[in-house]
Amino acid sequence: MTKKVQASISRFFTAAPQKKRTFEEVSQAHQVVKNNETNNGKVPRKRLQNFTFTKSSGVCKNDRSNDNEDDSVTELSGKENALVAEKKKKELTTTKLSNSKRPSKQKITYTPLETQIRDFKDAHPDKLLLFQVGYKYKLFGKDGEAGSKILNVMYVPNREKPEFSYCTFPDFKLHINIKRILTHGHKIGVIKQMESAAIKAVNKQLSLDNVMKRQLTGIYTSGTYMDDEYIHNGGDISLAGEENHSYIVCIVEDEVDSNSIGIVAVQPLTGDIIWDYFEDSFSRHQLQTRLSVIKISDLLIINSSEKVSHDTLRVLQLLGGISLNEIKTVAVKPEVQLREEIANYFDTLDEQHGGSFKHLENYYLVNFPLPIQRCINELIQYLNEFKLSSLFTKTDNISKFTDPKKYMTLPGNVLSALDIFVNSSNPNSEKGTLVWLLDHTRTRFGSRKLHKWISQPLIDPIVIEQRSSAIECLASGFDSLVDVFKNFLEKIGKTYDLDELLIKTHYSSVYESGKISRQDIYHMLRCFQDILDMVERFRNHIEKRPFKSEMVTQLFDQLLQSSSNDCVTKLLEKINKAFLGIENKSINEIKVNFFDLDNASYPEIEHEQLKIEECEQILDDELEGIRKLLGRSTMEYVTNKNDRYLIEVRNGKQVDALPKDWVKISGTTTVSRFRSPEITNAFKLLQYHQELLYQRCDEAYLGFLKEIDQQYTFLTRIVDILGNIDCLLSLTAASVLGQEYVKPVINPDSQLIKAKRSRNPIIENLKHNKAGYVANDVDIDYDGNRVLIITGPNMGGKSSYVKQIALLVIMAQIGCYLPCESAEMGIFDSIFVRMGASDNILRGESTFMTEMLECSNIINKMTDKSLIILDEIGRGTGTQDGIALADSILRYLIECDQTPLTLFITHYQSLHSLESHYSGGIVRNWHMGYLEMKQSDHGFPEIIFLYTLQEGVVSNLYGLNVAKLAGLPIELIKSAFDYSEELKISIEERDFQNKAIGMGKLLKDISDPLFKVSMDSVLKLFT
């Protein structure tokens, strides 16, 4: 060994603050390492692996560490393995020779790895645990049984120790298998090896500790997994597949009044936080409305009895997708404890991150009612386990579910009946919905914002006009800046979601959890820089105020102001952009070369790089000595399967002549590869410093993420501006679909809906209606035509017409253009709909009960600025009761103080008399037009639907025609027609007889001189 090698290794082993060891002691330690790695005198093949470092654990990690660990649940040295095998053999022999029918029970002993596994499972009984064991992940016991069924892999039984029966899969399948397991509702814990062979080789306690260090590195549910393991393995987030945009929801039911409901919903992937506190009825319509606009993954219920109330449970079951085992119930905590827990959480964050979160304690305790504070606290405690609770530090992301001062009220059943987000005919498809029609956004964050715009139509006429004028401006002509922005949004929309990347950066900086890769950080910053550079290039153009829209001008002015901030430029200067442009680089290569050390000062990284250079120089010097020893002046080190620094010699005399202390690493039939003791020690020293380098790079990267997170508010403001521009461009595209769309005139002083030749925007854009959609006028006004009673044949278009009116109102208050020749619209603060015949079996409600509950909700919530649509009220019960209820409800809507605009579809002919009963044209009768065609062959007439709205009522619903369209046998329909005619004749005869009896009584009474009769009583007999 050269003096240089000896001195370097000696310095290395004495550098740590431990008892000083001599070089001979170090050599002995390495001899122990070699003996432990040797099994039955044979040295197993060793591999040099790539190392990564998990900062949260404070120790290094090897991607392929514990390479010589076999598939059994053991981590012993070769001698220990032999002893265990011999012991098992003796036990089996003893059992076979025993004459006892039942072998005597012996105390079960556990290997170090088995003990480690038992400890983890005892500490985490609520999780399905995935253990990293060498190249594989294993699931043991019941976890393994469940995993084998989900993943369709073999379940390997262990008769002696059933708890260590297992299933296994390769480590490179971790990400995809996590996603598969999560779809079955499990909570997963991932336990990884946290040290490498290189670190273990220089650890003086190696001979005393034969089990790899393992740590719980990740806990995931379907609502909290963000492709973390895909990113850890160097995956590109843009290729990770569809992200999970579900919400984790907490609901609190008031201890005294169970109808007082508080709700907080958080979306971890975007940082979105939504809350509301409201009064509800036992039917929970208000709760259903709020839950219908979000997708729930995890649900917490706070209740004094720690059970979900019956009323709330019915709503949750009705929504679907939520099973009882996915609902976590928690008890109501005393207010003092609640405040302490919130205070302690932010105090802890303050201590860990430099005192910037303490003020948030007062923010939540002052600005939110107590029930909402309870929800926030429980969500903090719940998300803390997943290292996601810090989203509550981003208060800019908080909004309210509903704000009646700003937005129109659209109950959940209205969203469903009008097909706003889900097609009632095909719930698995967005096609045929309003969002399908209007969503032409180019980015994911823009699409999310547009969904909010659609679910929350505006009620402020000024803001409505601003949006509408912005669409008019963007549709009026070509602008180079707008065109460049379209292309840019198209580009980033196909790859990255800036909202997601920013919140992942935040999580990673607070929890050191590595939820975002270096490549994604670079691309995110590059996107922001491109935006600001683009705006700067158009500075002169923007300053000339080329846009007629105040809203568009403000958006580009805000971007122009942001471009003066150079924080993104400074952050990008620290990154080695040239290296990141090179493809097919390993994770560790990207780690080491991520920063541009010419523009960024990271002395710890530079120190380890110098140490590595020293080690490489030592190895080069050692190679010179070996060249002289073997007489091969051009000899070089060889690398075999990533195993570096090998001396390769031909088998035969050359191998026989080598020093006896050289260790054979690998070989073939013609050559063998060795390392000398000096190379072995120097190589281990090199590996050690390489791992320290990866650790220093991770530490520097964490600090870099904290710098980015400090700009979170600034960057999210840019994303919000881009989202607004994307939404306006989307509505502009929807307003010029090819058919005639116009900008509506908004009249805030009158409740009216007037549209010339209007069309149903959804139906006319479906392929089977492209040939032409029948347009209809709409003329509804508070002073006349306030209540429309609409009749007509089945399938005549009644429901489509009233839905069309509701969609026009929503689109107008979103700010969108309308499908008609001209339009004047009032402003509505709510739309209520009772439509369709359906029962709620899960809620224990019949069709009629559902009707009455929805009608009750409408009557209780309506205002004088409501639009109400009622379709066939009363059909869920008997004819007489149905007519009576329909008549009473309609009269109430006409006469009540709120006086809402009402569209009333009915098959009850008697209701047409209300038109003459109320003066001033408040109530009008209308029907959907048709042509009746007499048929000589089968008796009953056929009709042709005209789909036009016409004045008056119809006396025949032509249900037999619909039966024919449905394909019922013609003989059956003819029989029904004959029976219908018989009923008509029977009814007419009965009426004639009643009138004849009445006439006879009248004539008899007239003959009495004391009898006086009015003309009205006489006329009643003839009407």
Q: What CATH number is given to the structural domain containing 635?
A: 1.10.1420.10
- Please tell me which residue, 681 or 1006, carries the higher pLDDT value: 681
Q: How far are the Cα atoms of 32, 142, 181 from residue 187, in angstroms, in the given order?
A: 41, 14, 9
Q: Would you place residue 559 in the very low, low, confident or very high pLDDT band (cuts 50, 70, 90)?
A: very high
Residues 829 and 933 both lie in one domain: yes
Closest among 291, 435, 430 to 727, alpha carbons compared: 435
Closest among 155, 164, 163, 159 to 95, alpha carbons compared: 159
Q: Is residue 714 part of a domain?
A: no
Q: Would you place residue 71 in the very low, low, confident or very high pLDDT band (cuts 50, 70, 90)?
A: very low
Q: Would you place residue 841 in the very low, low, confident or very high pLDDT band (cuts 50, 70, 90)?
A: very low
Per-residue pLDDT, averaged over 939-954, amounts to 81
How many structural domains is the chain composed of? 6
Residues 633 and 692 both lie in one domain: yes
pLDDT at 235 over 70: no
pLDDT, position 528: 97
Q: Check: pTM over 0.85? Answer yes or no.
A: no
Single-letter residue type at 643: D
Tell me if 258 sits within 8 A of 309, measured CB to CB: yes
- Please tell me which residue, 479 or 233, carries the higher pLDDT value: 479
Q: Is residue 285 part of a domain?
A: yes
Of 43-52, 429-438, 967-976, the range with the highest mean pLDDT is 429-438
pLDDT, position 323: 57
Give the H or E element holding residue 921: none
Structural domain boundaries enclosing 672: 603-708
Q: Is residue 469 part of a domain?
A: no
Residues 778, 13: Cα–Cα separation, whole Å: 89
pLDDT at 983 over 80: no
Q: Quick: pLDDT tens for 562-610.
A: 999 999 999 999 999 888 777 778 888 889 999 999 888 899 999 999 9
Q: Would you place residue 325 in the very low, low, confident or very high pLDDT band (cuts 50, 70, 90)?
A: low
Residues 135, 172: Cα–Cα separation, whole Å: 8
pLDDT, position 21: 43
Residues 894 and 1016 both lie in one domain: no
The residues with which 746 forms a beta bridge, in sequence order, are 825
Residues 945 and 831 both lie in one domain: yes
The residues with which 302 forms a beta bridge, in sequence order, are 252, 330
pLDDT, position 857: 87
Q: Would you place residue 616 in the very low, low, confident or very high pLDDT band (cuts 50, 70, 90)?
A: very high
Q: Would you place residue 207 in the very low, low, confident or very high pLDDT band (cuts 50, 70, 90)?
A: very low
Q: Is residue 1006 part of a domain?
A: yes
Range scoring the smallest mean pLDDT among 59-68, 387-396, 613-622, 995-1004: 59-68
pLDDT at 19 over 50: no
pLDDT at 855 over 70: yes
Q: Is residue 736 part of a domain?
A: no
Residues 214 and 258 both lie in one domain: no
Q: Is residue 667 part of a domain?
A: yes
pLDDT, position 205: 44
pLDDT at 614 over 50: yes
Q: What are phi and psi of 873, to 5 degrees?
A: -65, 135
Q: Would you place residue 483 in the very low, low, confident or very high pLDDT band (cuts 50, 70, 90)?
A: very high
Tell me if 217 sits within 8 A of 129, measured CB to CB: no
Q: Would you place residue 1005 in the very low, low, confident or very high pLDDT band (cuts 50, 70, 90)?
A: low
Tell me if 269 sits within 8 A of 253, measured CB to CB: no
Residues 894 and 999 both lie in one domain: no
pLDDT, position 619: 95
Q: Is residue 630 part of a domain?
A: yes
pLDDT, position 45: 36
pLDDT, position 712: 95
pLDDT at 980 over 70: no
What percent of the chain has pLDDT above 70?
76
Final residue belonging to a domain, choices 947, 968, 989:
968
pLDDT, position 66: 44
Residues 811 and 951 both lie in one domain: yes
Q: Would you place residue 322 in the very low, low, confident or very high pLDDT band (cuts 50, 70, 90)?
A: low
Residues 804 and 825 both lie in one domain: yes
Alpha helices in 663-817, H assignment, sequence order: 677-709, 712-734, 798-814
Residues 171 and 189 both lie in one domain: yes
Per-residue pLDDT, averaged over 940-960, amounts to 76
pLDDT, position 318: 72
Residues 444, 304: Cα–Cα separation, whole Å: 40
Question: 785: which DSSP letter?
Answer: S
pLDDT, position 16: 42
Strand order in the sheet with 296-302: 327-330, 296-302, 247-253, 260-267, 272-279, 398-400
Tell me if 149 sits within 8 A of 181, measured CB to CB: no
User: Residue 363 is part of a domain; what is its CATH number?
Assistant: 3.30.420.110
Tell me if 517 sits within 8 A of 234, measured CB to CB: yes
Q: Would you place residue 877 in the very low, low, confident or very high pLDDT band (cuts 50, 70, 90)?
A: confident
Residues 258 and 277 both lie in one domain: yes
- Please tell me which residue, 226 or 392, carries the higher pLDDT value: 392
Per-residue pLDDT, averaged over 668-693, amounts to 92
pLDDT at 67 over 60: no
Residues 943 and 809 both lie in one domain: yes
Taking all residues of the chain, what is their mean pLDDT, rounded to a whole number? 82
Final residue belonging to a domain, choices 366, 387, 402:
402
Closest among 823, 822, 739 to 773, alpha carbons compared: 739
Q: Is residue 820 part of a domain?
A: yes
Residues 942, 934: Cα–Cα separation, whole Å: 6
User: Residue 954 is part of a domain; what is its CATH number?
Assistant: 3.40.50.300
pLDDT, position 620: 94
Residues 213 and 263 both lie in one domain: no
